Amino acid sequence: MARRLSEAEGYALLAKYGIRVPKHEIPASRADAGAIAERIGYPVVLKVVSPDIVHKSDVGGVITGIKGRNEAENAYDAILASVAAAAPGAGIDGVIVEEELPQGLEFIVGGTTDPAFGRVIAVGAGGVLVELLGDTTFALAPVSGERIREMVRGLKAYPLVRGYRGSPPLDEEALVEAVLAASRLFTGEEIGEFDINPLILYEEGACAVDARFIAGETPEVPREERAPFTLPAPGGIAIVGASSDPAKIGYAILRNLLHFRGQVFPVNPKYARVIGVPAYPSVREIPGEVEMAVIAVPAPLVPGIVEECGERGIGLAVIVSAGFRETGDEGRRLEEEVIRAARAHGVRVLGPNCLGLMLPHLGINATFDPISPKPGHIGFLSQSGAVITTVADWSVQAGVGFSAVVSVGNQADLGFPDLLQAVAGDPATRAVILYVEEIRDGRRFYEAAREVTARLPVIAVKSGASERGKAAASSHTGSLAGSHAVYAAAFREAGVILAESLEEAFQVGELLASEGYPGGDRCVVISGAGGFAVLASDYAEKYGVSLPTLPDEICRDLDAFLPPLWNRANPMDIIGDGGAGRYAKVFDVMIEHQEAWDIAVVVTVPSAVLNPVEIAHEIVRFSKKTGKMVVPSLLGGESMAAAVRILKDNCLPNFPEIEDAFRAIGSALTIPGGKREKTPACDGEEEER
């Protein structure tokens, strides 16, 4: 088991990094305890020192409030006697005499080592607030002072730091400094896990009162330097295991690839043609240009085929076959063999055990999913094949198009980091959506994602939020961490939006792909119905979207043509008796005053006087005429279908539920520095390249 540092070692380490600790000494005898107590000054606290005892109070190992020499000496004996009786087997290294600190606001500062993301720092409210508030935030170590300040200010207990109900403000800077020092300590020493519990914060300064350190190294993943991966644009594709039997996966893949405008080469030693297409006994025999092979043969044959691909100069093997790491040790060995063959022959591998790859702009559906989604600007990476078939099926009806759909499978070679960069590197991609179960190299993902989010919005759905406490709970922080909190922290720091469902992910992705990140958080709502204006206000509050007061100039300009009963407030109720023309005039005013807002939500309801097609065109014009985020929420059903189609053709998503619009805006605003780039609205249907 990992070594636990003693009290004194822990205090020494904290002091080395400039974190204040109580005055303390370990007496050699009863009399020494008295002398030390005198030196430290009263009150003091005496605590047993033992590597074996976790809950010292429970065995009579702590006596507080000692105010005299005699009392200290008696406490020394009392603790030794009490602990010996209550914990007979425990090793006892003595008793520590410490300065007893006054009350203050308690925090927990800790660190843990995550298997994927490495060292992670945590800050949270301490004492009784720990579990009542559930108020611990995480960040990847090392962490900057700025980020720590952000973490501290995000705590639910932060009002207590700022001074609350007449209590004086506490020393926020001391807290930030202490966490920063703890982060330096964590990355500078051989520590695997630690808790400072509590760190007491005062009006001036902060002091660490109890600290547990567990030695341990960060498991360094060996970094291979490999050329960045780019999405293929093949002239020819080999399908190894192509079959004429409709029950076989190799049949479905070949059938799907018949729509590919390049060349398709079935590989099957048993036949000269497969469903009418000339076939080859192996990839070596393929005569034409071929840069990519889709492999759907029994797992044991795969390593040999990958080798042949390398010899033939095929750079990418998409291994659909299952029977690898996911099935146990034998499969894991086979998977390693595949990767050795691939590395040796310069082949990159997608999968194994994946659904494959779709590149709609090239007419490539290299999967066995019968649905080929339309070309578009969303890049989608998924760790579940079922999620891809579901999303593909849904996308057809929803009118959502893709630049690439990639099933990552076992991530034996190409993982989320490489594939995220590759998909983001495709010029058609305007936003990337990830469905993540497990990221195998968290730090590399973090770096790749940071690089990508500087150009494009990335939205992730991470399943497994309910799987908690995976990390060994040898410290408080470790038990709190759980992988989901660490993923959330890493995503946040990498600028990745964390969505709670695929629906939300696609809503946010489509909105950002079209409108870009808003330049600020000032939202205006233009509604043709009072009831929905009030609901919009409720949802804005729920999702943290600010609705500033309308400037007088805007009200004045609107007064010129709106009916006198309009509410002169934000959300605006422009009254339901006007048509698209009234909206158009409101848009003109908002365009004129576009310095006053960052986001506009336009709500319309079915009405005899409102032509849905006209309002859609007006919204498109509104979006094109401003650099701002315009969010259409045309409510209703089939009567809005033509209007929604017009929006989609111009890359604008519609939000048929107002709540979803605000949820999407709120999600976008969680990335405050989100790269602001609005895509010029596309005209008409997108075409295959």
Of 500 and 559, nearer to a copy of itself (C-beta) is: 500
- Which of the residues 329 through 368 are near a copy of itself (CB under 8 A)? 368
Q: How far apart are CA 345 and CA 559, in angstroms?
A: 72
Q: Which tokens belong to 637?
A: 């059903």
* Shortest distance (Å) from residue 660 CB to a copy of itself: 8
DSSP, residue by residue, 621-654: HHHHH-SSEEEEEE-SSGGGHHHHHHHHHTT---
* Shortest distance (Å) from residue 229 CB to a copy of itself: 24
- Which of the residues 644 through 673 are near a copy of itself (CB under 8 A)? 656-659
Q: Rg of the chain over CA atoms, in angstroms? A: 31
- Which of the residues 221 through 260 are near a copy of itself (CB under 8 A)? 252
Q: What type of residue sits at position 260?
A: F
Count of alpha carbons within 13 Å of 321, Cβ hemisphere only? 27
From 95-103, 297-305, 424-432, 600-608, give the range in contact with a copy of itself by CB under 8 A.
600-608
The strand pairing partners of 295, in sequence order, are 240, 319
Whether 232 and 316 have beta carbons less than 8 Å apart is answered as yes
Of 58 and 289, nearer to a copy of itself (C-beta) is: 58
Q: What type of residue sits at position 67?
A: K
* Shortest distance (Å) from residue 646 CB to a copy of itself: 17
Give yes or no for residue 397 binding a copy of itself (CB under 8 A).
yes
* Shortest distance (Å) from residue 45 CB to a copy of itself: 17
Of 83 and 306, nearer to a copy of itself (C-beta) is: 83
> Of residues 396, 454, 613, 642, which one binds a copy of itself by CB under 8 A?
396
> Of residues 472, 605, 681, 682, which one binds a copy of itself by CB under 8 A?
605
* Shortest distance (Å) from residue 455 CB to a copy of itself: 28
* Shortest distance (Å) from residue 83 CB to a copy of itself: 17
Q: How far apart are CA 306 and CA 315, in angstroms?
A: 10
Residue 249 neighbours by CB distance under 10 Å: 21
Give yes or no for residue 323 binding a copy of itself (CB under 8 A).
no
DSSP, residue by residue, 111-135: EEEETTTEEEEEEEE-TTHIIIII-
* Shortest distance (Å) from residue 217 CB to a copy of itself: 31
From 15-23, 357-365, 409-417, 527-535, give the range in contact with a copy of itself by CB under 8 A.
527-535
> Of residues 8, 35, 84, 160, which one binds a copy of itself by CB under 8 A?
160
Residues in Cβ contact with 405 at an 8 Å cutoff, skipping those fewer than 6 apart = 357, 358, 360, 367, 373, 380, 382, 388, 391, 392
- Quickly tell me which residue has 């576009």 as its tokens: 594
Backbone angles phi, psi at 606, to 5 degrees: -60, 135
The interface mask with a copy of itself, positions 81-120, x = CB under 8 A, is: ----------------------------------------
Give yes or no for residue 159 binding a copy of itself (CB under 8 A).
yes
Whether 114 and 218 have beta carbons less than 8 Å apart is answered as no
- Which of the residues 529 through 588 are near a copy of itself (CB under 8 A)? 529-532, 534-535, 537-542, 576
Q: How far apart are the first and last CA of the chain?
A: 59
From 168-176, 224-232, 272-280, 396-404, give the range in contact with a copy of itself by CB under 8 A.
396-404
* SS3 annotation, 242-281: CCCCCCCHHHHHHHHHCCCCCEEEEECCCCCEECCEECEC
> Of residues 260, 271, 394, 561, which one binds a copy of itself by CB under 8 A?
394
* Shortest distance (Å) from residue 48 CB to a copy of itself: 17
> Of residues 150, 451, 503, 588, which one binds a copy of itself by CB under 8 A?
503
Of 463 and 594, nearer to a copy of itself (C-beta) is: 463
* Shortest distance (Å) from residue 256 CB to a copy of itself: 11
